[in-house]
Structure 1
């Protein structure tokens, strides 16, 4: 087995830097897709179902990309980097075109393309950390990834607000996405591709120990669907236990991404999206009333996106603290994850009670604590229980526990809000809070590994 040398901070940073662009894509998608859908005429209770494209593409793409990346070796780009690059090019194209969608069905279709493309880039990044880093550096590597993700989330979430402050119009006619959002998505496309290229050009991968044996094994592989199914059936027990935690964790965040804009603009800002069909645009007074209501909604949606950015900023700070700690001391990953999930749950629940919109900053900061942990601790807890040569496919299968709850939420959240909560979108965030607390309790079934996980080999995990 090839000895993996300990890497420096900058080597790990460059290896993970592509996640900045990936998170730009996810943050723009998560913070502003519902705004685009509502601007194009979607009803708020239809938003979760419109979002179903995202988890469905992840369910299909991630294990397939993981399977093929395990079996890829390019003499120049290596194993994982061909997928980074292909996904980045497709994602950048989709980001540019998304806010220019003329109709709702075009926007929904582009969401399929965008999410599939982001997943092509993202899934191999998780495997790359396990490929490149020795066991004792893996928590550090995943935490550093989370730091970069936090930076991307905060900056991208504030892009439309920042662009509007630069004088770009934040309003447009009925059914037209504002120019500030279009420019923000174009900036996101550039950052996505540029950051992936940094990782592609600065990181080298370890070739298979026996390249000829690797090629012979690749040639003998059977049907990839049956291979993926076999690995699902025989997944490690640790993966199943962590999968339950992941289910409730990601259900909470999908509810936030799809429903935070309608929930908070309506409940906290008292500025819901106006329905153009209820206004007579031929009447000057009615047209002016629509513009006033639409302006209030667009401004409130800008602030919701900006405040959501604070969960990225908070996760960045938490990841920075964890990276300093994990570089020097053993890290009890299970305890960190438990406390972080509880704090995130309280953050979501507090959104129902905030006395002023600015208090949402504190709510999202608590959510960010859980986000920092969700993006690092489960992968660190899992990586020690997965064979290295199967890392790609198992990381892809593990990510199914991310997309399945999102499919469940996309299918059921709208009817649940409509039938049990009077179609008040704020209750989606209350459900998010309860879901994170359940996820924390499910951690009692997860085992903490009993071997090294710090930057120096002699440090032991408790």
Structure 2
């Protein structure tokens, strides 16, 4: 492993070799095993515990809402942390420990409410680990290695997701029961979560034990801003007005939902709008009073003063993650109903479809593991990161669209190849562009704030998609893939604007 040494040249991070890059990113292999198990199996678990198809999106709200709250907080504090264990490592180690425990507890949930609560704990813990890992790559690598670092991280994400997504299918092939006696969660899913919990913790522990973060003195040599007083380094820009308008918008949404008797999950959308408005007003008042060194003013102030590149990438992320979240929620019911011929979660055909979705998800992640370092990284050097990202997202849109026409399980593997290329680019390109365009001293909080544009579209999908399904396609989940294709196409078009962005 390449490690920091005390005789570093001023203003220059040492170049990391292959094993240095490997150790920095290996923990993400375990984190993604946890995410993959969650993404491929939570709808199956919820339906096995008695939840109906049109309420699945509502139960998934816990995951993105947790990320929206947790990641900026962890980013803010990890920017300011230094102890004997480092700057970022204490956070992703603690998150991995609790995520592993949640994975063990999830398949033993006694009922639907307990399962939803365990999903909240799991996602909170995974976000505590994930956010510092994103910033960790930026901390440890020079700008010219950012693309290589995030590409290798994407390869580990893909490999971890292959393991997590395919484990129930592999256990089924080994003779483990894939249908629970009576109602409940099959043993293939239960044992997969146990394996995933152990793998997650051990992978993160590897990165903790094999890396050493740069000290504050070394960071000061690399980034002069690191050596400034905290008040100067972390100065919060003036917070613009507008909080009242956000509150009014939120209350209007609540009123419309109540008057028109719309679906109850839309109340969350109104609450989020009003909540942001209240936070903005409070942060502005604190800023006026000179009380700027606190979590609220830092989060709201830096959010309002995003660099130009981050603003343009935000739109790309919004559309991209809307499509991805639709895929994670609805692929299992779509494949089970249209390819395996059953919409009954207790049937053998449905569970066979659920296992095949694990293989489909493993395929797109396996493709991502190879595409990021061997296809997208060299392509980005030739045509640019923004153009590469736009092309990859276009392929993803075609992959989603193909679900409307293909009815052969194996042919869907071709769809996943296209989606895998888009997924690889989503995990690498935006973060490489962002890490090179924001102040290093605020990399943690900006990475956390950037997650808002991953989370907000997921919240909108979770609150709106269920309503659309109930009113227009109550028994035809296939149309969710048409929505996914459309918004991914918009993401591709938005990505082209990033080539002109300047931080």
- TM (norm. structure 1) is 0.89
**Aligned with 1:433: secondary structure?**
helix
Q: Which of 324, 349, 373 does residue 253 from structure 1 map onto?
A: 324
Q: Which of 210, 216, 230 does residue 208 from structure 1 map onto?
A: 216
Residue matched to 1:310: 363
Aligned residues: 431
Shift of 1:212: 8.8
Shift of 1:332: 1.3
Q: Which of 81, 98, 116 does residue 108 from structure 1 map onto?
A: 116
**Aligned with 1:325: secondary structure?**
helix
The 5 Å alignment of 1:242-281 reads 242-274=313-345
Q: Compare relative contact order (CA 8 Å, sep 6+) and give the higher one, 1 or 2.
A: 1
2:123 is the counterpart of 1:71: no
CA deviation string 1:99-135 (max 9, x = no partner) = 1111111111111000000000000111111111111
Residue matched to 2:283: none
The 5 Å alignment of 1:223-372 reads 223-274=294-345, 294-322=347-375, 325=378, 329=381, 332-372=384-424
- Note closer, same or farther for the CA distance 1:143–1:212 as it changes in structure 2 (3 Å cut): closer
CA deviation string 1:116-159 (max 9, x = no partner) = 00000000111111111111110111111001111111111100
**Aligned with 2:499: secondary structure?**
coil
Shift of 1:235: 0.9
**Aligned with 2:448: secondary structure?**
helix
User: What is the rounded CA distance, in whole Å, between the counterparts of 2:38 and 2:478 in structure 1?
Assistant: 20
Residue matched to 2:493: 441
User: What is the rounded CA distance, in whole Å, between the counterparts of 1:343 and 1:213 in structure 2?
Assistant: 45
Residue matched to 1:60: 69
> 8 Å contact 1:334–1:448 — kept in the other structure?
no
Q: Which moved more, 1:422-431 or 1:59-68?
A: 422-431
Shift of 1:204: 1.0
Residue matched to 1:134: 142
2:47 is the counterpart of 1:47: no
> 8 Å contact 1:21–1:152 — kept in the other structure?
yes
- TM (norm. structure 2) is 0.82
> 8 Å contact 1:143–1:322 — kept in the other structure?
no
User: What is the rounded CA distance, in whole Å, between the counterparts of 2:90 and 2:233 in structure 1?
Assistant: 17
> 8 Å contact 1:342–1:440 — kept in the other structure?
yes
- Note closer, same or farther for the CA distance 1:119–1:214 as it changes in structure 2 (3 Å cut): farther
Shift of 1:352: 1.2
The 5 Å alignment of 1:444-455 reads 444-447=496-499
Shift of 1:70: 0.1
CA deviation string 1:401-455 (max 9, x = no partner) = 000000000000011112122441121122111111110011232136799xxxx
2:476 is the counterpart of 1:424: yes
Shift of 1:177: 0.3
Shift of 1:267: 1.7
Residue matched to 2:265: none
Shift of 1:221: 6.9
Shift of 1:61: 0.2
**Aligned with 1:375: secondary structure?**
helix
Q: Which of 418, 437, 457 does residue 405 from structure 1 map onto?
A: 457
User: What is the rounded CA distance, in whole Å, between the counterparts of 1:320 and 1:272 in structure 2?
Assistant: 39
The alignment yields a C-alpha RMSD, in angstroms, of 2.1
User: What is the rounded CA distance, in whole Å, between the counterparts of 1:322 and 1:448 in structure 2?
Assistant: 23
> 8 Å contact 2:75–2:445 — kept in the other structure?
yes
Residue matched to 2:426: 374
User: What is the rounded CA distance, in whole Å, between the counterparts of 1:106 and 1:302 in structure 2?
Assistant: 24
User: What is the rounded CA distance, in whole Å, between the counterparts of 1:443 and 1:324 in structure 2?
Assistant: 16
CA deviation string 1:364-417 (max 9, x = no partner) = 111101000000001111122100000000000011100000000000001111
User: What is the rounded CA distance, in whole Å, between the counterparts of 2:20 and 2:377 in structure 1?
Assistant: 16
> 8 Å contact 2:387–2:496 — kept in the other structure?
no
User: What is the rounded CA distance, in whole Å, between the counterparts of 2:178 and 2:24 in structure 1?
Assistant: 36
